[in-house]
Amino acid sequence: NAGVTQTPKFRVLKTGQSMTLLCAQDMNHEYMYWYRQDPGMGLRLIHYSVGEGTTAKGEVPDGYNVSRLKKQNFLLGLESAAPSQTSVYFCASSYPHGGLNTEAFFGQGTRLTVV
């Protein structure tokens, strides 16, 4: 049982390049999230999904797109990377229990540097 797995773990991009971050969970969780973490800023929600085929914007969605084609995968795309997107990205998943949300399980993070 791997939990939440993110790939890649590290990446350096040039400004304007595109890339996709992959998140996979093997816990059959309904909800999945993408956060970014910057020094002193805590975790800010980029996009999230409450089920296969659905996505919603979080606090800081600009410059990112997501897709949830399969329940176990949640992809985060950067179409044209900017230095402001240099950050550590975390994926998480959780499951509703009895109609209530429960704790989110996090991946180990992807450190992205845009130069």
Partner 1 sequence: GESVGLHLPTLSVQEGDNSIINCAYSNSASDYFIWYKQESGKGPQFIIDIRSNMDKRQGQRVTVLLNKTVKHLSLQIAATQPGDSAVYFCAENIEETEGNNRLAFGKGNQVVVIP
Binding site for partner 1 (CB under 8 A): 4, 31, 33, 35, 37, 39-45, 48, 50, 56, 58-59, 88, 90, 92, 94, 96, 100-109, 111
Closer to partner 1 by Cβ: residue 19 or 50: 50
Closer to partner 1 by Cβ: residue 16 or 51: 51
Distances (CA, A) of 16 to 8, 38, 110: 19, 21, 19
DSSP string, 21-66: EEEEESS--SEEEEEEEETTTEEEEEEEEEETTEEEE-SS-TT-EE
Closest distance between partner 1 and the C-beta of residue 48, in Å?
5
Closer to partner 1 by Cβ: residue 35 or 81: 35
Closer to partner 1 by Cβ: residue 13 or 104: 104
Closest distance between partner 1 and the C-beta of residue 51, in Å?
9
Helix, coil or strand: residue 84: helix
Closest distance between partner 1 and the C-beta of residue 18, in Å?
24
Residue 72 tokens read as 């176990």
